[in-house]
Amino acid sequence: MRITMIGAGYVGLVSGVCFADFGHDVTCVDNIESKVESLRQGVIPIFEPGLEDLVRANRKGGRLHFTTDLAGAVSNADVVFIAVGTPSRRGDGHADLSYVYAAARDIAKAMTGFTVVVTKSTVPVGTGDEVERIIREERPDADFAVVSNPEFLREGAAIADFKRPDRIVIGSQDERASEVMREVYRPLYLNAAPLFFCDRRTSELIKYAGNAFLAMKITFINEMADLCEKVGADVQKVAKGIGMDKRIGDKFLHAGPGYGGSCFPKDTMALVKTAQDHDSPIRLIETTVAVNDTRKRAMARKVIAACGGSVRDKKIALLGLTFKPNTDDMRDAPSLSIVQALQDNGANIHAYDPEGMDVAKDMMPDVTFGADAYSIAEGADVLVLVTEWDAFRALDLRRLKPLMAQPVLVDLRNVYPPDEVRRHGFVYHGIGRREISA
Ligand code: UDX
């Protein structure tokens, strides 16, 4: 199979590289010359465990190509994936589809022979119809089919998610295209990953419904955590207790500072807008969005309370800034709201993140960045664990305590057993865990 991937961003790059690793001949197209050049050298612009090695191996194997020449890459392809960005449109929260439609026009001009055009980007229901209309308008003679094939990759675990998915969703109304998609995913299919075929609009909605449901599940346990704190219960055990019911499941029930990242915030908003536009509002998700927004700032209030009601001129040490571990992605990270709210209250913020600091530096003025957890803890009035990087899971509490002005740990990810931290002489505040006096 000759596969062309339009957009060498996160989704395009991971998918393209994994397809090449499965033996397909893959060309990734991007319009940023410098990005293409560094990808050719095996240098990747994002942090994703295992990705750089896989790029290099497949470059060596000759199955993975990078180019800015879209027309050349499309003309010989059996399948063209559109994996360009669909950011939230400024002002109205709708997904911005201009890059998708521009790609559709460019593809139309260049394709020869039967070509399957696949929307991999997360796109609202009906986008596939519009892509089809654009291609037909541009090239009335073309032989093609438009298919929806959403991605379900988690940052930090994207390669494993690609290679061992729970399912592969394919929205296709064309038998020839379905056959081609079966061939594209044959290596995975042989790995027993189920291919789920449905119509295109259903497939587009599955992506949004899936992400919205997960965002709602997280938000549910976050609100449950607040209640736990009030009534003296332990949210970790509530999650475990309900998660053992197979109808509920134990995943995405980890209470924390609210969800962030490139998908959940954007996709929940876009679903809310689509539903409102069709006069069928999804109030559960409207509420999820609102509750999650409020939660990030509420985490700052938790830190302020842990500092005795004021953080003015206090030194606050933040561990982790990215929206989750194993990524350098700062998009909609809870840390952004937390830092802003603490600074508004007069705090001095010191922070450390294993991978996110380069990006964070541009987004967080007046934050002092340190070299590790211990250096930022020096003289701090409180240590706040924001992102659960492995590097923060086994901190030497004995070493930390004498460094700090006040031994207070606010653990927004419930990484530490409260009793153990208290045994080391710390005041401990977790999320949704009954307060036991130290
Ligand atoms: C998500 C989806 O999981 C993936 O299928 C989709 O295609 C893209 O969006 P991603 O954004 O990479 O992936 O991260 P994910 O691991 O889902 O976490 C999203 C956010 O939810 C993070 O901020 C994370 O900290 C938070 N989260 C997740 C929780 O607070 N609790 C949980 O139990 C799980």
Residue having the nearest C-alpha atom to atom 26 of ligand 1: 259
Phi, psi of 175 (to 5 degrees): -65, -40
pLDDT at 433: 92
Copy the structure tokens of residue 152: 């379900």
**Does the C-beta of 261 come closer than 6 Å to ligand 1?**
yes
CB atoms within 10 A of CB 28: 29
Catalytic residue positions?
263
Contact 384, 400 (CB under 8 A): no
pLDDT band at 437 (very low <50, low <70, confident <90, very high): very low
CB atoms within 10 A of CB 362: 8
Check whether 65 has a pLDDT greater than 60: yes
pLDDT band at 152 (very low <50, low <70, confident <90, very high): very high
State which ligand 1 atom lies nearest to the alpha carbon of 158: 12
User: Contacts by 94-103 with C-beta closer than 8 Å and gap 24+?
Assistant: 94/124, 94/270, 94/273, 95/122, 95/123, 95/124, 95/266, 95/270, 97/123, 97/124, 97/127, 97/130, 99/7, 100/127, 100/131, 101/130, 101/131, 101/134, 103/6, 103/7
CA–centroid distance, residue 148 to ligand 1 (Å) = 22
Placement of tokens 């465990």 in the chain? 49
Strand partners, 27: 4, 65
**Does the C-beta of 256 come closer than 6 Å to ligand 1?**
yes
Question: Please, which residues have CB within 8 angstroms of residue 71's CB and are 6 or more apart in sequence?
Answer: 106, 109, 110
**Does the C-beta of 324 come closer than 6 Å to ligand 1?**
yes
Q: What is the DSSP letter of 251?
A: T
Interface ipTM > 0.85: yes
* 222-231 pLDDT, tens digit each: 999 999 999 9
**Does the C-beta of 355 come closer than 6 Å to ligand 1?**
no
The pLDDT mean for the chain works out to: 95
Question: Please, which residues have CB within 8 angstroms of residue 308's CB and are 6 or more apart in sequence?
Answer: none
Contact 271, 212 (CB under 8 A): yes
DSSP 349-365: EEEE-TTTHHHHHHH-T
Strand partners, 92: none
Residue having the nearest C-alpha atom to atom 16 of ligand 1: 154
Q: Which 3 state secondary structure label does DSSP give 386?
A: coil
Handedness of CA 229, 336, 212, 15 (dihedral sign): negative
* 237-291 pLDDT, tens digit each: 999 999 999 999 999 999 999 999 989 999 999 999 999 999 999 999 999 999 9
Q: Which 3 state secondary structure label does DSSP give 172?
A: coil
Contact 319, 383 (CB under 8 A): yes
**Does the C-beta of 120 come closer than 6 Å to ligand 1?**
no
Check whether 438 has a pLDDT greater than 50: no
pLDDT at 88: 80
High-pLDDT (> 70) share of the chain, %: 98
Contact 274, 125 (CB under 8 A): yes
**Does the C-beta of 154 come closer than 6 Å to ligand 1?**
yes
CB atoms within 10 A of CB 316: 29
CA–centroid distance, residue 368 to ligand 1 (Å) = 28
Which residue type does 249 have?
G
- Domains, the chain, in order of start with CATH, read 2-198 (3.40.50.720), 199-438 (3.40.50.720)
**Pocket mutation for ligand 1, best pick of 15, 154, 288 (most atoms within 8 Å of C-beta):** 154
Q: Which residue has the higher pLDDT, 95 or 236?
A: 236
State which ligand 1 atom lies nearest to the alpha carbon of 387: 25
pLDDT band at 69 (very low <50, low <70, confident <90, very high): very high
| CA atoms of 19 and 26, how far apart (whole Å) | 7
**Pocket mutation for ligand 1, best pick of 162, 252, 299, 392 (most atoms within 8 Å of C-beta):** 252
| CA atoms of 396 and 404, how far apart (whole Å) | 13
CA–centroid distance, residue 44 to ligand 1 (Å) = 22
CA–centroid distance, residue 75 to ligand 1 (Å) = 37
| CA atoms of 438 and 427, how far apart (whole Å) | 7
Helix (H) or strand (E) holding 253: none
**Does the C-beta of 267 come closer than 6 Å to ligand 1?**
no
pLDDT at 435: 63
Contact 36, 66 (CB under 8 A): yes
* 359-404 pLDDT, tens digit each: 999 999 999 999 999 999 999 999 999 999 999 999 999 999 999 9
pLDDT at 186: 92
Check whether 190 has a pLDDT greater than 70: no
Which residue type does 406 have?
Q
State which ligand 1 atom lies nearest to the alpha carbon of 155: 12
